[in-house]
Copies of this chain bind each other. A is one copy, B any other.
Amino acid sequence: MPVPRAAASRTGRRGVIPEATVARLPVYLRVLTALAEGGVGTVSSEGLAGMAGVGSAKLRKDLSHLGSYGTRGVGYDVDYLVYQISRALGLTQHYPVVIIGVGNLGHALANYAGFATRGFQTVALVDADPRRVGESVGGHEIHHLDDLEMLVKEHEISIGVIATPATAAQDVCDRLVACGVTSVLNFAPVVLAVPDGVEVRKVDLSIELQILAFHEQRKAAGVTASGTALPDGVRAAVADPTGVAR
């Protein structure tokens, strides 16, 4: 008995959306947005699935968790689907973001125009180095780490992005959590410990490279008998957002 686990998720609504689906919705949304800008009015599950790099059955299952927004014999209305997916992901709301650590990476993140699709807005940059305070990056002034709590309160920040060195990450994370931030995107190569109810996503370059290395090695090992290299297809394929494809 590790932990009673509270009372699971009794969010109510109409069928909870599986995590695996949530991880793919942003991809669909991006493709759909591009289609909408291209003036396309409707797509079939097969068409959309092809552009998103998934199977059509999976796509339909995914969308079915949001409701019945397609028309049989026709397909999906692009604009309407964009709206429904945005709503499901909570993108109709506004999420102020703070970036902590303005090194090479933080710099890149701060300049990432729009930072993402609409819904997110970088409202504060923070760094521990006093010499950088006052400097402006990507249209935002750098504040000192000491002001973190104040900034979070003032801007009602809901998402913290940690782009500090590994050694500082846990400390920064603790401070974010202490002042009420419940969503953290971590770029530092450490495993963050957080209380229940705080969501942490991590982006870890070296882990991705090591996973690629594993597959490279495996391919090299496979070159034994027959010499069957690349037998066939040129069909689309893509690493799954879930991280576990093939």
Contact = CB atoms under 8 A, between A and B. Distances in A.
B205 A235 contact: no
A221 interface: yes
B243 A116 contact: no
Given A196-B237, A209-B115, A191 B51 contact: yes
Interface of A: 2-3, 6, 9, 11-13, 17, 19-20, 22-23, 25-27, 29-31, 51-53, 55, 88-91, 93, 95, 97, 103-105, 107-109, 111-112, 115-117, 119-120, 158-159, 182-186, 189, 191-219, 221-222, 228-239, 241-246
Given A159-B209, A201-B239, A210-B116, A104 B108 contact: yes
Nearest to A231: B6
Contacts of A230: 195-197
A201 B112 CA distance: 20
> In the complex this chain forms, how many copies of it are found?
2
Given A193-B53, A206-B117, A217-B90, A212 B199 contact: yes
